[in-house]
């Protein structure tokens, strides 16, 4: 029962890593093998993915 609970908590905490450089997969693995608390600290220290800026190609510049 404890193992199932750790997997569920690790999966939920790993969702925070989805929008960061670490990604969901690595965040889940770190939470699972180290501990969810250590994984959370590593996830929060990871940089966020930068937003993509879209440029209007059809707009002519003067």
Q: What's the whole-model pTM score?
A: 0.74
Residue 58 forms part of a structural domain: no
Residue 50 forms part of a structural domain: no
Residue 32 forms part of a structural domain: yes
Q: Which domain holds residue 31?
A: 2-45
Could you give the dihedral angle defined by the CA atoms of residues 5, 2, 22 and 26, in that order, rounded to the nearest 10 degrees?
A: -110
Report the domain count for the chain.
1
**Distance, CA of 53 to CA of 62 (rounded, Å):** 21
| Half-sphere exposure of residue 44: CA atoms within 13 angstroms, side-chain side | 7
> To 10 degrees, what angle do helices 36-45 and 2-14 make?
10
Residue 24 forms part of a structural domain: yes
Residue 21 forms part of a structural domain: yes
pLDDT values of the chain reduced to their tens digit, one per residue, 62 residues: 999 999 999 999 999 999 899 999 999 999 999 999 999 999 999 998 876 667 777 766 65
């Amino acid at each position: 029962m404890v193992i199932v609970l750790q997997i569920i908590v690790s999966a939920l905490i790993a969702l925070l890593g989805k929008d960061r450089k670490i990604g969901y997969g690595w965040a889940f693995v770190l939470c699972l093998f180290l501990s969810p608390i250590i994984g959370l600290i590593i996830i929060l220290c990871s940089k966020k993915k930068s937003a993509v800026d879209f440029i209007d190609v059809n707009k002519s510049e003067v």
